[in-house]
């Protein structure tokens, strides 16, 4: 789960952590800052973590409502259920 603002300085660290994750890899971007950079429009903020790592489920909101978190988790469960690895 990627939660919060990602800076250009932290982007290589996020990429390295993603590369070191065991397969299967699933990423959930939680909140407006992780999804699109939020209201930060400056030289230091990355405009969405999907520019560094692939994202499976986006949960928008600032802050996201609990119902949205549950919907995102259920969407990820459905994606895992439909994947060919677990059939």
Domain with 21 in it: what CATH number? 3.40.50.12280
Whole domain around residue 6: which residue ranges? 2-86
How far apart, in Å, are the Cα atoms of 48 and each of 34, 39, 44? 5, 11, 12
What pLDDT is attached to residue 53? Answer: 94
The pTM of this model reads 0.84
What pLDDT is attached to residue 36? Answer: 87
Burial class (CB in 10 A: 0-12, 13-18, 19+), 1: middle
Segment holding 17, helix H or strand E? helix 11-20
Distance in angstroms (rounded) separating the CA atoms of residues 30 and 16:
19
**Residue bearing tokens 């560094």:** 52
pLDDT in tens, the chain (87 residues): 999 889 999 999 999 999 999 988 999 999 998 888 878 888 888 898 999 999 999 999 988 999 999 999 999 999 988 887 655
- Number of domains into which the chain is organized: 1
């Amino acid at each position: 789960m990627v939660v919060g603002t990602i800076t250009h300085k932290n982007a290589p660290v996020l990429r390295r952590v993603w590369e070191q994750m065991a397969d299967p890899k699933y990423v959930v971007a939680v909140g407006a800052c992780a999804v699109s950079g939020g209201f930060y429009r400056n030289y230091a903020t990355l405009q969405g973590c999907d520019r560094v790592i692939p994202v499976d489920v986006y949960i928008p909101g600032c802050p996201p409502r609990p119902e949205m978190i549950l919907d995102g988790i259920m969407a990820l469960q459905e994606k895992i259920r439909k994947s060919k690895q677990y059939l």
